[in-house]
Structure 1
Amino acid sequence: MVRMVSATELKPTTYAWPVETTELRVKAGRHLAVNGLDLQLGTGVHGLLGPNGAGKTTLMRALSTVHRPSGGQLRLLGEDATSSRVLRPLRRRLGYLPQHFGFYPRFTVREYVEYMAWLREMPKAAIPGAVQRAVERVGLTARADSRLKALSGGMLRRVGIAQAIVNDPDLLLLDEPTVGLDPEQRVEFRTLLRELGTDSCVVVSTHLVEDVVAACTDVVLVDEGKLVWQGLPAALIQIGEQGGTGDSPAERGYTSLLSSHRSAS
């Protein structure tokens, strides 16, 4: 059955920011992992940085509508993402790769990406072509009919990226997407990110500062669930050239900003 496209999906874009949060609070269990976050993200690739326990994964789960905020405002693609009324049509426009994603080992690569396209309620006739494009973009064309249980960790990560982009999402969320990728694959992935960010809002959570500097148009640094700093990769490098701990100017900028934030808290 072909899904009919609603008038809501066809209406022109009128929102200023694909992602906008105001005093956002999100709990991870009983812990307030995101605590009063104000953030605005536009079209482009945004690198989300922060130490372990900073609230990055919880924030990504909130942006993907998996976690419901416990307070504040969250608007995604112009919609109030705290309203259950808009969640179903909103999720059709999202792409999400969790830090740990589940899969059926006996599925082939193609079957798994097709299944995820079906879950996002893509029109049936559009799915085969969309799946083929997604698989090609992550460099798995030759393994499209291999079972997932036969793939390496890096290949599985690329399958996860393929399912996240199969519906050409307006908002793409990738949590630690380069885990398990070799250096050559990481370079290819950075190219793909830059391509995706030309007309979509892409948020990439990672510990790899160099990936952010190489591929992102914007850097978002969080700690203890709060915004520490937001700016251009070039600005992060410039801060690092003045001091800090790390093997590169970007890493020194990262550590310097965290240190300054903690000293002021």
Structure 2
Amino acid sequence: MRVMSAAETAPTLHPWRVHTEGLRVRAGRHLAVDGLDLALRTGVHGLLGPNGAGKTTLMRALATVVKPAGGSLTLLGTRVDGRTDLRGVRRGLGYLPQQFGFYPRFTVREFVEYMAWLKEMPRHAVTDAVQRALDRVGLAGKADTRMKALSGGMLRRAGIAQAIVNDPELLLLDEPTVGLDPEQRLDFRELLRDLGTDSCVLVSTHLVEDVVAACSDVLLMNEGRLLFQSTPEDLMARGGQDDPGDSPAERGYSALLRQHRSNA
């Protein structure tokens, strides 16, 4: 594999990092994303929704893991369809799926280095980039530990490290806080805010409070469609005292889902 030069891998900024019109994506035979219109700029965007809402399928489509079944998808200024050379797009992506594979005998450093190589990062930049990614997720002290010896929370942080090692223009994180303890979640929120200053970060999670604390924008999906996109403050204002939830954000989330289901 040819190693790309720094000039070839330098990010080109686009007004919309993600833009979709009528996007449809299948999960098997099921149409999991159905007619989605979406536009995302730089910042941290929280993706909420119940199980089966289509969040993971959407993330997989944005990560170019699955092809759209219809509609249009533009990532980092490139229209993605069956004829698109995806290598250029993928060099600008970072992706953490719900479950990710790794070689158990790799050390943490070797794992992140390997992912940097797959992303065609310039060879001379890899060592410093890997160290920086490990520092940012708090794994510098475990850099020489084998992946098979990590706890669940540490594995998740290693997954975040590989997702950010290339300083992606578009970062997709699917349930990134699974296995993190409360202190680690607080650190992760701070990391998200930092990443969102230069990148478009889309975080899929069930933890509404993480979205309110770290995101500038909230999206709510259900049954493959986008029900809501606005600020955390607007989400909190949608709920009332009679709506289920232990916080204004959870009550707003519940109220929006209830309203959608009553209108369906």
Q: TM-score range by the shorter chain?
A: over 0.9
What residue is the counterpart of 2:161 in the other structure?
A: 162
Cα distance in structure 2, aligned partners of 1:171 and 1:205:
14
Query: Where do 1:197-208 residues align within 5 Å?
Result: 197-208=196-207
Cα distance in structure 2, aligned partners of 1:106 and 1:244:
49
In structure 2, give the amino acid aligned to 1:145.
D
Cα distance in structure 1, aligned partners of 2:44 and 2:259:
25
Cα distance in structure 1, aligned partners of 2:45 and 2:226:
14
What residue is the counterpart of 1:194 in the other structure?
A: 193
Quote how far apart the aligned CAs of 1:3 are: 2.2
What residue is the counterpart of 1:57 in the other structure?
A: 56
- Number of aligned pairs? 263
Cα deviation 1:196-228 (Å, max 9, x = unaligned): 000110000000000000000000000000011
What residue is the counterpart of 2:122 in the other structure?
A: 123
What residue is the counterpart of 2:98 in the other structure?
A: 99
Change (3 A) 1:256 1:81: same
Structure 1 runs (4+) deviating above 6 angstroms are: none
Query: Where do 1:178-193 residues align within 5 Å?
Result: 178-193=177-192
What residue is the counterpart of 1:24 in the other structure?
A: 23
Quote how far apart the aligned CAs of 1:25 are: 0.2
Cα distance in structure 2, aligned partners of 1:243 and 1:42:
34
Output the aligned Cα RMSD.
1.4
Say whether the 8 Å CA contact 1:240–1:252 is kept in structure 2: yes
Change (3 A) 1:30 1:129: same
Cα distance in structure 1, aligned partners of 2:79 and 2:41:
16
Change (3 A) 1:37 1:2: closer
Cα distance in structure 2, aligned partners of 1:115 and 1:140:
16
Matched, 1:256 2:255: yes
Cα distance in structure 1, aligned partners of 2:150 and 2:166:
23
Local SS of the residue matching 2:162: helix
Quote how far apart the aligned CAs of 1:256 are: 0.3
Q: TM-score, normalised by structure 1?
A: 0.96
Quote how far apart the aligned CAs of 1:171 are: 0.1
Query: Where do 1:128-143 residues align within 5 Å?
Result: 128-143=127-142
In structure 2, give the amino acid aligned to 1:47.
G
In structure 1, give the amino acid aligned to 2:212.
V
Cα distance in structure 2, aligned partners of 1:219 and 1:126:
34
Cα distance in structure 2, aligned partners of 1:204 and 1:172:
8
Cα distance in structure 2, aligned partners of 1:116 and 1:47:
25
What residue is the counterpart of 1:114 in the other structure?
A: 113
Local SS of the residue matching 1:203: strand
* Bigger Cα displacement from structure 2, 255-264 vs 110-119: 255-264
Say whether the 8 Å CA contact 1:243–1:253 is kept in structure 2: no
Local SS of the residue matching 2:101: coil
Local SS of the residue matching 1:178: coil
Say whether the 8 Å CA contact 1:80–1:86 is kept in structure 2: no
In structure 2, give the amino acid aligned to 1:148.
M
Local SS of the residue matching 2:238: helix
Cα distance in structure 1, aligned partners of 2:222 and 2:263:
13
Q: TM-score, normalised by structure 2?
A: 0.96
Local SS of the residue matching 1:250: helix
What residue is the counterpart of 1:75 in the other structure?
A: 74
* Bigger Cα displacement from structure 2, 236-245 vs 131-140: 236-245
Unaligned residue ranges in structure 2 (runs of 5+): none
Cα distance in structure 1, aligned partners of 2:11 and 2:160:
28
Cα distance in structure 2, aligned partners of 1:242 and 1:74:
39
Cα distance in structure 2, aligned partners of 1:261 and 1:80:
31
What residue is the counterpart of 1:239 in the other structure?
A: 238
Cα distance in structure 1, aligned partners of 2:175 and 2:11:
33
Say whether the 8 Å CA contact 2:48–2:220 is kept in structure 1: yes
In structure 2, give the amino acid aligned to 1:26.
V
